[in-house]
Amino acid sequence: MASNRYADVIVFAWLKEHKIPAPEVEYEYARPRRFRADYAWVEQRLLLEVEGGIYTRQAHGSISGILNDIERSQQAAMHGYRVFKCQPDDLLRTDTAQMILSALEWRSAEEEKS
């Protein structure tokens, strides 16, 4: 999902409402590759991708888009990131917020163990 300042304002307000820390937007995570995540909680090594165009066979729904997403996910894993994905319609849902919060809390608990 290309960053859209208006949409990001809405997402950041929604995150704040759910007590989720603000992520970085369009975070480049696999240097020297120029892969970017829609939203990233860098310290917790968590990426959130919003997968648009699924049903229209555009972007993430095209064959080349699917192959690119596979490579992006592999690169993210190789760089130590967990990748969560959602459709645009599911981004601002309570269960998406709970998923993000759980992942951030899990990572914090793992760091405390080390």
Q: What band does 106 get if pLDDT is binned at 50, 70 and 90?
A: confident
Q: What is the CA radius of gyration of the chain?
A: 14
Q: What does the pLDDT read at residue 11?
A: 95
Q: Is residue 61 part of a domain?
A: yes
In the chain, how many domains are there? 1
- Beta carbons within 8 Å of 93's beta carbon, 6+ residues apart: none
Q: What does the pLDDT read at residue 63?
A: 84
What average pLDDT is seen over the chain?
A: 87
Q: What does the pLDDT read at residue 1?
A: 46
Specify the pTM.
Answer: 0.83
- pLDDT at position 96 over 50: yes
Q: Is residue 72 part of a domain?
A: yes
Q: Is residue 43 part of a domain?
A: yes
Q: Is residue 105 part of a domain?
A: no
Give per-residue pLDDT as tens, 31-67.
888 899 999 999 999 999 998 777 666 666 678 888 8
Residue 50's domain comprises 26-98
